Amino acid sequence: MEVSTREAERIFVKLEVNPRHSTHHVAGVVVVDGVGHLPVHYSHGRKGLHGRAAQSFRKSLRLEPKEFAVLKRCKMSRDEYFDIVRGRLAS
């Protein structure tokens, strides 16, 4: 799996990630129902995420590989994502 920096940026914008100060990474927290649940980050630069880093990014968003692929292609709305995450946080 590979995630380009541009795809990671789009995901941050789409999910309206609340930014957090970090010198080495673009970091933030996904807020679900008013509570910051999911800390996510990716490195500055243009190399993107490969291998284990891409898997960690996906896991931090609490998505299965197929779901993450849909989010990456911009086919999943913010509300659809939150519905998935609410179900996983509840169990």
Instruction: Tell which residue, 73, 21, 13, has the closest CA to residue 63.
Output: 73
pLDDT of residue 66: 95
pLDDT digits (tens, 9 = 90+) for 18-74: 888 777 788 888 887 777 778 887 777 778 778 888 888 889 889 999 999 999 988
pLDDT of residue 54: 85
Looking only at the bridges linking them, the beta strands covering 18-20 and 2-3 are unpaired
Average pLDDT score over residue span 4-27: 85
Average pLDDT score over residue span 67-89: 90
For residue 25, the cross-strand partners are: 43
pLDDT of residue 2: 86
Residue 20 is encoded by which pair of tokens? Answer: 């957090």
Buried b (16+ CB within 10 A) or exposed e, 3-25: bebebbeebbeebebeeeeeeee
Q: Report how far residue 25's alpha carbon sits from residue 23's, in angstroms, rounded to the nearest whole number.
A: 6
